[in-house]
Amino acid sequence: MKILIVDDSSTMRKIVMRTLRQAGYDGADIREAGDGVEGLAALDESEVDLIFSDVNMPNMNGLEFVKELRGRDGSASTPVVMVTTESGTDAMDEARSLGASGYVVKPFTADKLRDVLEGVLS
């Protein structure tokens, strides 16, 4: 499985990566991007099976990233899990309306991440 983590915090990217490994995805090919612009560039180089994206990022935030992603032929159906500190239903509803497949609120556990992934990937 190829996974892309899009987050402006290198620390958070490492946390998501470590949590994915704890959740049973230790064999995954995990790639990183620092914002939505870098995320789209990474997808130009190679398609992925799953994307984790922060919402609040410079240059191109997570919602703009999902909107751009859904307009692309090769990535229109790639599952995207939003990872953010925003727990309000408005943010979740907007992310889903743009095409996000799931939502994880920081901080999260390996069990919570695994539950969201099982829902998204089933």
Residue pair 116/103 in contact by the 8 Å Cβ criterion: yes
Beta bridge partners of 4: 31, 51
- In this prediction, residue 89 carries a pLDDT of 74
pLDDT of residue 57: 94
State the Cα–Cα distance between residues 81 and 86, nearest whole angstrom. 13
- List the structure tokens of 110: 């390996």
- What pLDDT is attached to residue 107? 87
Place of tokens 């922060």: 54
| Residue 43 confidence (pLDDT) | 94
Residue partners of 72: CB distance under 8 A and separation at least 6: 43
Which pLDDT band holds residue 50 (cuts at 50, 70, 90)?
Answer: very high
State what percent of residues in the chain have pLDDT above 90.
58
Summarised one tens digit per residue, pLDDT across range 63-122 is 999 999 998 877 778 999 999 887 777 878 888 999 999 999 888 888 888 899 888 888
**Which of the residue ranges 2-6, 19-23, 62-66 would you say has the lowest mean pLDDT?**
19-23
Task: Select the CATH number that applies to the domain covering 2-121 from these four: 3.90.190.20, 3.40.50.720, 3.40.50.2300, 3.40.47.10.
Answer: 3.40.50.2300
* Per-domain residue ranges of the chain: 2-121
pLDDT for residue 91: 76
| Phi/psi at 7 (5° precision) | -160, 140
Q: Using 50, 70 and 90 to split pLDDT, how confident is the model at 6?
A: very high
Total number of residues shown for the chain: 122
User: What average pLDDT does range 15-39 have in this prediction?
Assistant: 93
